[in-house]
Amino acid sequence: MYADPPAPQPLQPGETPPASSPADPFSPDGQSTTWRFNPEYQKLVDLWQQAQPLLEGLTGSLDKAYQMARSRDVWDAPVAERYVQDMTEWRTRLGMYRQAVLTAISDEAADTPRWIPAAATAPHAYS
């Protein structure tokens, strides 16, 4: 099978945002930047936590059926070999699907910052 890519890490208790440097050239008037956990990153964490158990369930169900189909105690006929070959193909496809889904989430999380600057409380035109 395949090894799962790294999962996006949820906000840990006690985790603090990155330290702001006082010499930040992008901060307005030299003010320190306040940070918040990125809600888009949190969505990826939630998506991983939803998708991974579902994929585990599918894999487990198919593996159980595959083991039973390979057993001569369950089915001993020439057509059984074709059925086992079909199930082998299904397991391969499911493994590739699982890899694609989890890799897409992991790659998106790697490109998404965990912390973003908090919105300023100053009023904005047209808001």
Query: Torsion angle, CA of 77/84/62/104, rounded to 10 degrees?
Result: -170
Which among 14, 17, 8 has a CA at the least distance from the CA of 41? 8
Global pTM reads 0.78
Q: What SS3 class is residue 7? A: coil
- Spatial neighbors of 63 by CB under 8 A, at least 6 apart, are 91
For residues 62 and 50, give the distance between their C-alpha atoms in angstroms, rounded to a whole number: 19
Percent of the chain with pLDDT over 70: 81
pLDDT 10s digits, 85-126: 999 999 999 999 999 999 999 999 999 999 888 865 555 445
Q: What SS3 class is residue 47? A: helix
